[in-house]
Amino acid sequence: MDMLKQFPITQYINEEGELNTNEMKGEVSLDLIKMFYQKMLRARMMDKKCVNLQRQGRIGTYVQYEGQEAAQVGSALAIEEGDWMFPSYRDHAATMTFGHSLRNLLLYWVGRIEGGIPPEGKNIFPPAVPIASQLLHATGVAWAEKKKNTDRVSLVYFGDGATSEGDFHEGLNFASVFRSPVVFFNQNNGYAISVPTEKQMNSKTIAQKGLGYDIPSIRIDGNDILAVFMETQKAVERARNGEGPTLIEAVTWRYGAHTTADDPSKYRDQSESDRRRTTTDPLLRLEKYLKQQNNWDEEWLAETEQEITDEINTALAEMEDVPEAEIEQLFSHVFEKPTWTIEQQREHHMSIKRGQV
């Protein structure tokens, strides 16, 4: 069976900015498109600022996401207050769209524990660095919400590399068996760090991996924010209505390195990123759409950029006003009651600090 035919890529707005589905004609408002653009622009400007801050030595190693804004922003807009979000270490565009503070996002990259704490009332888990572990958290929380008879939904993010981890399969299996209200949102950017998808798995798609667990699955154009928003919204409503989980594969591309400590030129042709900036870029696509509708407004863009710049600079000033993290915090919050091994490590560190070692 040809899985590429069974799981075609769903697209609403094509690379030329044209709405290519009758389903949405008459329903795509100017306000909706401008809101999409503003939130993606905000995410991109934040990402670029963080890369610059890392190069200046003002934050630590940073994990960028430029190019994946449509996948993250569009999906985050599909859930509502009270739902749960489980990000990986690369999903700040999603968390800031769902209401995480920019100050705390910046604090995360300077080692402050506040960086993993969302605003009051926002159900956002801290970024998961171990690959795929967040899928189990999302599935368990969704199941707990179902047991409590709520209509709350979990949305969990992960990359293509995570689908080779056992946690991915355990999460999908559990969610399938117990019909947990969880949306598994995969961002397939073609590389699990330095390993291209075709070397990481023999499957032609990630969406087809849902077949083994009888989970509805779909592939979408991850650079088309309207497709991302609409299809994720459908999956969220399925979960909310008690119809169980969905697996979404958003096919996208990250322009930059895996992290600021990585050199992608060692394992991929970086000219591909240059080409995609002028063809498949998610912001450029909406710009083309607005221009075709005679609704592109340079003055609005300039005002929007200034507002975002001011917001980011305020958050940066607040972050830099917070004292540097104490290394002793490494030993806190590991267990409810510290084990003897943690206490031994803490005492060894304190001895070094006192000059006794």
158, two tokens: 């992960």
92 noted as active-site residue = no
Q: ∠ CA(25), CA(297), CA(229), 5° rounding?
A: 40
Q: Which of 90, 100, 112, 258 is labelled catalytic?
A: 258
275 noted as active-site residue = no
- By CB atoms closer than 10 A (0-12, 13-18, 19+), residue 47 is buried
Helix or strand or coil: residue 54? helix
CA 57 to each of CA 65, 109, 203, 291: distance values in angstroms, whole numbers, following the listed order: 19, 11, 41, 39
254 noted as active-site residue = yes
187, two tokens: 């961002």
Residue type, 289: Y
Q: Which of 267, 275, 333, 348 is labelled catalytic?
A: 267
Measured between alpha carbons, how far is 187 from 225 in angstroms, rounded to an integer? 13
Q: Which of 44, 103, 152, 254 is labelled catalytic?
A: 254
CA 308 to each of CA 62, 226, 260, 281: distance values in angstroms, whole numbers, following the listed order: 20, 22, 23, 20
Catalytic residues: 254, 258, 267
